[in-house]
Chain A
Amino acid sequence: MYKFIKFIKRSSLIAAIALIASISAHAKMPILKGIGGDFTLNSSKGKQVSLSDFRGKVVLMFFGYTNCADICPTTMAHVAQMVKKLSPEQQAKVQVLFVSIDSEYDTPKHLNKYLSYFDPSFIGLVDDKEKIDHVAKLYSAEYSKLADERVTTEFKKLSLEDKNAPKKKGYLFSHTAKIFVIDGKGRMRGYFYTGTPLKEMRDDVTQLLATSK
């Protein structure tokens, strides 16, 4: 029992330290160790892309899929709005990457059309599932495919009623809400979320660009 209390005490201390760290992290975006790393994937621009191609740029990376109705387009529109608020010089030093977790459906061409709609400079990455899984693991970007029973049944019913209805099973993904912020040296510096205010994102990106010179 005593051990347990000690454990609680210790963990609350750790939690407090973590809290302080996260507060100062917000102010300075320190280098996050033990997460991230370089990778190479097929891109929506028609050739392979490595994270190291973007040295000197702030990279904002998001994991999603194009058949996602709500969060993915909301996030892309949100990030696009933030990028528009940057100066042209800053814009040239920011790269948005959208890693598709739906390698079965999202082709590079489809991703390009999708992302160009938000901002032509955005690059989509899609590759064999194993390669995507590897990147997801590097960044602890958990995701999983949910075979949704109701959606599946609904789609089956539809394809019976209408020959033109999609034959594919209905599916939904569960995925991380984070936008990974990577500095000009390929180091993880923090996270944004769909709800992060535009000004806060812009201030952090501006600061990262200023300090990485």
Chain B
Amino acid sequence: MKKFLLIVLSLLTSIVSYSLLAEQLTVENAWIRAMPPTSRVVPIYLTMKNTGDQPIKLLAINSPNGRIELHQTIMKNGLMRMTPVEKIMVDSHGQTTMAPGGYHGMMMNFTQGVPAKGDSVPLTLTFNNGEKLTIMAAVKMNSDETMHHHHH
């Protein structure tokens, strides 16, 4: 019984702390592109919404499934290149989308193999205000895969 109460209590605390943070910052549509099992790198995309009065910077994404760097694809003089970035800004009352052709997470050194289509990968986002947010990213072929389901 005591154990049960403890579980309920810890569950409640986690819900409360989550909603406190969620009020200010939410992460949506996190997805990882399904790639061949021989891949060395896969991209991570998501949308961050900041309803707070302070701008927030994403400093890192961590996962038990691999190492992740924050990258940005830059187009210059018709040439594309990817470059590591130290932070990704989310303006106050704004949102930043990490999407193909722009900001993205580059995941590598997989501990449990290349994420396969249909998998869910836990990601922990660390922000400059000290907050950490853990979410699940869906592994799929394209960003609009879920949208198709809504249409039909």
Contact = CB atoms under 8 A, between A and B. Distances in A.
Contacts of A172: 81-83
Given A77-B141, A151-B84, A173-B81, A69 B104 contact: yes
Contacts of A22: none
Nearest to B43: A69
Interface stretch (A3-11, A88-96, A128-136, A175-183): A175-183
B13 interface: no
Given A69-B71, A110-B38, A114-B39, A175 B79 contact: yes
B60 interface: no
Interface residues of A, number: 34
A121 to B, nearest CB: 16
Question: Top 7 closest A-B pairs, CB basis?
Answer: A174-B81, A74-B100, A117-B36, A69-B41, A69-B106, A69-B43, A177-B80
Contacts of B39: 66, 114
Contacts of A200: none
Contacts of B43: 69-70, 73-74
A150 B84 contact: yes
B42 interface: yes
Given A172-B81, A177-B80, A194-B101, A165 B109 contact: yes
Residue picked from B34, B75, B80, B141, most chain A C-beta under 10 Å: B80
Contact of B82 (A69, A113, A114, A154): A69
B38 A175 contact: no
